[in-house]
Amino acid sequence: MARNIMIQGTMSGAGKSLLTAALCRIFLQDGYRVAPFKSQNMALNSYITADGLEMGRAQVLQAQAAGKAPDVRMNPILLKPSSDVGSQVIVNGEVLGNYRAADYFRMKKSLIPQILEAYHSLAEENDIIVIEGAGSPAEINLKKDDIVNMGLAEMVDAPVILVGDIDPGGVFAQLYGTVALLPENERARIVGTVINKFRGDVEILRPGLSMLEELTGVPVLGVVPYTQVDLDDEDSLSPRLQGKMMVELQGKTIAGMQQDRTGRQPDAMVRLLDIAVIRMPRISNFTDFTPLSMHPDLNVRYVGSVKELGTPDLVILPGTKNTMGDLAWMRQNGLEAAVLKLHAAGTPVFGVCGGFQMLGERLLDPEGVEHGGEMAGMGLLPCRTVFSEEKVRTQEEAVVCTPPFAGARLKGYQIHMGRTEFTNSMNTASLTNSTAKTPFCTLSDGTSEGAAVMHQGASCGEVFGTYLHGLFDTGELTEKLAGWLLARKGLEAAAGNDTAETATGTASGTTRPESHEAWQEKQLDLLADTVRKALDMEKIYEVLGLQ
């Protein structure tokens, strides 16, 4: 059976997920068979495995760090919030049902056999399991029947590293307070603490580190510097969604991303194109757009109000866990009207998954899967969506068939509750006699997927919709989209944006855009190198019994 070590945090956003990924990569580099494990994850960023099962994207990234294919055993329970008080519960990759929080808490202990079966199955195949906790182990109102923090650590007899985030301040109180709130038997599991996201001279911290060790009775295993790596984020705490990063866009500074693939920092970045992604209350899989933000000419920002929207070059409606509810939210705050106004003035609109559903003529939910009843869509695509209990979960390869992106090869996945089909009517508000409607792409089995409306000679913007998550990951659609948007504005690519920086060579001597997966491999190695230097790896291997 595998040795194990568990990463717990003082709070959500302390850096558990990335530290888990870093340790997975370090152990892989050192020659061990390693796998990540998180018994219960709450996230709207999910992924479909090769066998059609659903899991959290954080564990997908950790699997990549470990050199493994994503496997639902790494995340046996996934909670996808559908409202403020309820979530869709997914067990071993399959939908168990929708539960209110109180009902789930009453039944979650019954899921322990599935959790342990998944864990022990992974443990039989690996040398080391790196376990990630959730939130904080000191949530005293949630400790009863805990299945993800100290409760799980006890079940699998795992030593624990406790991580605190120094970036917002108060890290010593975080770490000491967490330890102090734990009962003695749980404190005994903590083998060390880690201070994460530090900026500055670590020598300034030395007196505090010594005091912390005295107060907690456990060693500080390291101080990890704030690391500029571009890896997929988890949900609501992502700086991408919060607009914390700034870049310069054609002479003005606006919310954007931290750096691009050429390594340029915000003060040196000039983005020629502005892409606005609607930040819906239940936005899901916003990681779809990370490859766009890494393109030197594309600034991607997330907007939640008409005031933030401005006049972008492209509007994207992303995936959502509640299409009808989030469309109602857009209507209430004026974003729908603002997007329609931009479209009428020539701005193209792109919808992915739930965003694709919104762009159609009508949404029907006869079984009450999301919202119940019927609702008019935005009327920009000649299609309608009917929701049902059956969830589509497939990996796909496709080729875009609509201009101006025709020929771009895609590799992604579908994950949705509704079925969308073209309507026979041509009454959609945006359709005219000079309009062509086509599927967006063709799947590998020859099936048409998605929809597009091209306005030939009309003033309205083009509209595209697809169910494919990960559509920009190959890099091919990203390059075609950037080229098309630049051409629409009569612009050329920014200086320094040449194929040497954005593409990789092939055997034939031609170039292809670098895939998101290849880029993340480099970032994972960078993360592992940083963490290896910062942590007492000798002590960690000693704890594992591998020294």
Catalytic residues, which ones?
A: 353, 469
Q: Would you state the torsion angle of the CA atoms of residues 161, 154, 149, 73, taken in this order, to the nearest 10 degrees?
A: 100
Please tell me the distance from the alpha carbon of residue 376 to that of residue 509, in angstroms, as a whole number: 50
How many other C-beta atoms lie within 10 A of the C-beta of residue 389? 10
| Token pair in block for residue 217 | 């009775």
- Distance from the Cα of residue 340 to its chain's centroid: 27
Please tell me the distance from the alpha carbon of residue 386 to that of residue 389, in angstroms, as a whole number: 10
Please tell me the distance from the alpha carbon of residue 345 to that of residue 462, in angstroms, as a whole number: 11
DSSP 90-106: EETTEEEEEEEHHHHHH
| Token pair in block for residue 416 | 């949705």
Q: CA nearest 422: which of 455, 390, 450? A: 450
Cβ-in-10-Å burial (0-12, 13-18, 19+) of 355 comes to buried
DSSP 208-253: HHHHHHHHHSS-EEEEEEP--------STT-HHHHT-EEEEETTEE
State the amino acid at position 218 in one-letter form. V
Q: CA nearest 193: which of 207, 172, 168, 167? A: 172
Please tell me the distance from the alpha carbon of residue 72 to that of residue 54, in angstroms, as a whole number: 7
Question: What's the alpha-carbon Rg for the chain, to the nearest Å?
Answer: 24
Q: CA nearest 288: which of 316, 247, 312, 311? A: 316
Cβ-in-10-Å burial (0-12, 13-18, 19+) of 299 comes to buried
Using the structure block, give the residue that is written with the tokens 């919310």. 255
- Residue 163 φ then ψ, to 5°: -110, 135
Contact at 8 Å (CB) between 410 and 388? no
Q: Are strands 314-317 and 362-365 parallel, antiparallel or unpaired?
A: unpaired
For the chain, the first-to-last Cα distance in angstroms comes to 17
Across 106-119, b (16+ Cβ under 10 Å) vs e yields eebeebeebbbebb
